[in-house]
Amino acid sequence: MKMSQPELVAGLYRKMERVYRHWGIVDEELPAQYPLVLLQGVGRTEFYGLTERLPGLRTDVRTRKLELKLAWATYRRRRAVVHDWVQSMNVWMRAYFQGTDWMALVRRVPGRLESYGRWWSVAMGALSLWKAMEKEPPMGNPGWPMDLGCDRTVEQFAAVIREFERAREAIRPAVMEWKLARAALRRAQREAAALLMAYGHGVRARLGNKGLLVRTIPKVWPGRKRA
């Protein structure tokens, strides 16, 4: 069974370091004006530059992934705050306005796993209901003005929803940055893997199939395990 490129990519940085050191010895054996060059003019210097870039690319992927996780954590935290406000308002409405026309506008609190669109719609509906009741206060009702505790106001509720919106909007660019960082790493890994696979062929093409340098070409493919 043919081994796959991901097996070559495993331990890629260490393999590239070994090849880079071996390449230096090979170039010492070759004429200075004709050093070993692989695939589209890639020499030892360019190979070293790619080797040095890999750790930074991996770090960038980890950083972007952490930022994405933080964006989701912020979104879930903001959603929990929205849940608290909507739940408190629904409880208050059921306590004081059961059987009134206002109750027809009260919507069920979404489940935690429901979509952002569902949460936003319910929150905006609750905000619109509160604003409508502010505009036409229910006269003679002992439950008015609305008291959700901690002196909450309709303006504060609107601010809570805006924070929820911003938290959701921050997720998309975080996803994009993570995907771009991952794509850059994979592109560099593919390039490095191609160079590693071509290195042995390049050395043999210049030095032949015999000699110490040919026998000591760094092994880049993992060894096969016996059953």
pLDDT tens digits, 34-78: 999 998 789 999 999 999 999 999 999 999 999 999 999 999 999
Mean per-residue pLDDT for 70-94? 94
What's residue 28's pLDDT?
93
Mean per-residue pLDDT for 8-25? 88
What's residue 138's pLDDT?
80
- pLDDT for residue 80 is more than 70: yes
- pLDDT for residue 150 is more than 90: no
- pLDDT for residue 1 is more than 70: no
> For residue 72, what are its two tokens?
């989701």
- Cα separation, 126 vs 123, in Å, equals 5
What's residue 3's pLDDT?
44
What b/e sequence results for 74-101 when a residue is b if at least 16 CB atoms lie within 10 Å of its CB, and e otherwise? bbeebbeebbebbebbbebbeebbeeee
Domain ranges of the chain: 5-79+147-215
Mean per-residue pLDDT for 13-25? 93
What's residue 113's pLDDT?
85
What's residue 171's pLDDT?
97
Helix (H/G/I), strand (E/B), else coil: 99: coil
Mean per-residue pLDDT for 128-157? 82
Hey, how many other C-beta atoms are within 10 angstroms of the C-beta on 215? 8
224 — pLDDT class (breaks 50, 70, 90) = low
227 — pLDDT class (breaks 50, 70, 90) = very low
166 — pLDDT class (breaks 50, 70, 90) = very high
Q: Are 213 and 26 in contact (CB under 8 A)?
A: yes
| Percent of the chain predicted with pLDDT > 70 | 93
- Considering only CA atoms, which of 183, 196, 185 is closest in space to residue 3? 196
What's residue 2's pLDDT?
45
Hey, how many other C-beta atoms are within 10 angstroms of the C-beta on 172? 10
What's residue 124's pLDDT?
96
| Helix and strand counts by DSSP (H, E) for the chain | 7, 0
Mean per-residue pLDDT for 199-224? 87
Mean per-residue pLDDT for 107-111? 91
Helix (H/G/I), strand (E/B), else coil: 9: helix
- Cα separation, 203 vs 133, in Å, equals 82
Looking at every residue in the chain, the average pLDDT score rounds to 89
- pLDDT for residue 5 is more than 90: no
Q: Are 164 and 86 in contact (CB under 8 A)?
A: no
